[in-house]
Structure 1
Amino acid sequence: MTFSICVRERYTDDSGSGQIRYGVAATARIPGVGTVCPFASVDGTVAIQSFADSDLGRKGIAYLADGLAIDDALRSLLNADDDRETRQVHGVGADGVFAFTGDECRDWSGHVVGENFTVAGNLVTDAGVVEDAAAAYESSAHGDAPLAARLIDAIAAGHDAGGDRRQNLSIQSAALLVTTTKTEAVAPYYNDLRVDATETPITSLRETYEAAKRGYEAVTAKYAIGSDSTE
């Protein structure tokens, strides 16, 4: 039903402490993909798609919080799921990545796994969708732009490559989540965004992100709120 990307990035904050930021973004030719597919916490990210069961995403995040590695957490979920061959599940944790595409997922379906990221898609036009999304992220992984912006660029690349192949479905959606291990006084508003029903999911998500970022910067400036951005 969708395609999505999960990433992990290590960085050093202004105090010199090592931190991790996680991000996940998704888009689909259905309304409200943000309610069922992307999940994130300070322990990692999980994406659930293709006959998606959002309970699996919530359980996956809970398993990560309990200290399970990402592959153990998601394999445990799949092993207990009688419908696992219809699922597509992927994600990243502090020390690993995981991706699974069931044999009963609809064409085209598949995934790409990198050192610090995973991309997966089903009911997309072809492999180029996930490959282009992965390449777009890899090319920007060490750039200066905030992770939220780079996640949008990644799913935009997949969308431009063909995206969800169900051209007869005009109402679409997109969502992104970015988290960090750093404790913040106020988390950036632009790191948790959804566009639930639109005919232009990528454009709408990008416009929402840009407006939210301006709003966050205005609020932090007005009230002199300290911020070491998660980017």
Structure 2
Amino acid sequence: MTFSICVREEYVDDDGTDQHRFGVAVTTRLPSVGALCPHASEHGAIATQSVTNVELGRKGLDYLADGLAVDDALQALLNADEGREQRQLHGVGGDETFAFTGDDCHGWAGHRVGADYTVAGNLLTGESVVDAVADSYEASGRDEPLAKRLIDALGAGHAAGGDKRDDLKIQSAAVVVASSEDREMDPYYNDLRVDATETPLRDLRETFALAREGYEAAVEKYATE
């Protein structure tokens, strides 16, 4: 019912300090995906989907905050989950990646793992959807904010066929980005959701653009006061 991407990026802040950011973006042909599937903090990013178990994301972030590697954390949670063969769970931590697609997930279902990202989906038109998301992210560079690049990656997956249930018109999408950097004001565009619409990615792009404009206006206003 869903496809999503989790990423890890290293960068240097304005003070010359090494930092990292984690992001997750997801879309589906059901309402309110942002309330269930994407989870991100300064420790990692996780997406839980298919027959969604929200606790896999919440507890996964808790485990990462305690210092567990993402593969150890998420595998431990799956081992304790009797419904694991219906789950899709993937994510990135400080150094590792993890992706799991249960045998009972509905097709097409699968995942792709890169050096610093994971992509997964189920009930898709085909594997090309996951590949399009991954290829878009790999080609995106660093000129734009991560949230925008993740939304664009979802857009590439949608253009490649996306969720195959085209009879379900009410859809949703979300993006979350978290950073290890301690900032006075986090960008407003780093946590956005479109909960019920027939055009989720178009609406999420428009929401991002407005949130970015509002953030830049606020930075300019308060920097001069």
> Aligning the two structures, in what range does the TM-score lie when normalised by the shorter sequence?
over 0.9
Unmatched tracts of structure 2, length 5 or more:
none
Deviation digits for residues 33-52 of structure 1 (CA, Å, limit 9, x no counterpart): 00110000000000000000
Measure the CA separation in 2 of the matches of 1:117 and 1:177.
Answer: 14
Q: Give the CA deviation at 1:220.
A: 1.2
How large is the RMSD of aligned CA atoms in angstroms? 1.1
Unmatched tracts of structure 1, length 5 or more:
227-231
Q: Match of 2:149, SS?
A: helix
Amino acid at match of 1:175: A
Q: How does 1:139-178 map to 2 (within 5 A)?
A: 139-140=139-140, 142-178=141-177
Q: How high is the sequence identity, in percent, across the aligned residues?
A: 60
1:64 aligned partner:
64
Q: Give the CA deviation at 1:224.
A: 1.2
Q: Match of 1:157, SS?
A: helix
2:185 aligned partner:
186
1:17 aligned partner:
17
Measure the CA separation in 1 of the matches of 2:217 and 2:19.
Answer: 26
2:26 aligned partner:
26
Measure the CA separation in 1 of the matches of 2:4 and 2:96.
Answer: 18
Deviation digits for residues 160-182 of structure 1 (CA, Å, limit 9, x no counterpart): 11111101000000000011100
Q: Give the CA deviation at 1:217.
A: 0.7
Q: Give the CA deviation at 1:223.
A: 1.2
Q: Match of 2:61, SS?
A: helix
Q: Give the CA deviation at 1:136.
A: 0.2
Measure the CA separation in 1 of the matches of 2:10 and 2:142.
Answer: 13
Measure the CA separation in 2 of the matches of 1:35 and 1:19.
Answer: 27
Deviation digits for residues 131-152 of structure 1 (CA, Å, limit 9, x no counterpart): 0000000001x33111011001
1:109 aligned partner:
109
Q: Match of 2:82, SS?
A: coil
Measure the CA separation in 2 of the matches of 1:199 and 1:184.
Answer: 35
Deviation digits for residues 108-147 of structure 1 (CA, Å, limit 9, x no counterpart): 000000000000000011000000000000001x331110
Per mean C-alpha deviation after superposition, the further-off stretch among 142-151 and 189-198 is: 142-151
Taking structure 2 as the reference length, what is the TM-score of the superposition? 0.98
Measure the CA separation in 2 of the matches of 1:201 and 1:84.
Answer: 28
1:204 aligned partner:
203
Q: Give the CA deviation at 1:225.
A: 7.9
Measure the CA separation in 2 of the matches of 1:14 and 1:216.
Answer: 18
Moved over 6 A (4+): none
Structure 1 residue 222 corresponds to structure 2 residue 224: no
Q: Give the CA deviation at 1:53.
A: 1.1
Q: Match of 1:223, SS?
A: helix
Q: Match of 1:149, SS?
A: helix
1:129 aligned partner:
129
2:41 aligned partner:
41
1:229 aligned partner:
none
Q: Give the CA deviation at 1:14.
A: 1.2
